[in-house]
Structure 1
Amino acid sequence: MRTFTVEIEKDEKFYIAQCVEHSNCFTQGKTIEEAIHNIKEVIDLILHIKRPKLHIILKDSLVNAL
């Protein structure tokens, strides 16, 4: 199983998730959980990797808000 690093940040309305190793793998969600679910689907669709393991990094603004 491959592990991917995913950075999550928040814009005005959505949480944006982007795979660090593959800049074309990104998505959004209304919650952090939805963004994580969506990025797993994007990794599967683009890279054809089922159930990827993720290392999540919350951007500074999110860490400070929690």
Structure 2
Amino acid sequence: MDQNVLTRKQAMETLNVKDYRTLNKLIEAGLPVIHAGSYVRFSKSDISEFLEKHKERGGEVSCK
């Protein structure tokens, strides 16, 4: 698998998130997702951009 494309578990490790509910809330807050059939994948660069964007806004992500 391409090392720049991550599974849910790998994305959670990269984001330092402990459960899938939190990951889903980040997706709802705008974390980009790659859908490939029934698979969900994440781009490392998309995760980095998402974190930078929210870092610039004071680090807050609305996960209601």
TM-score (normalised: structure 1): 0.30
Larger strand proportion, structure 1 or 2? 1
TM-score (normalised: structure 2): 0.31
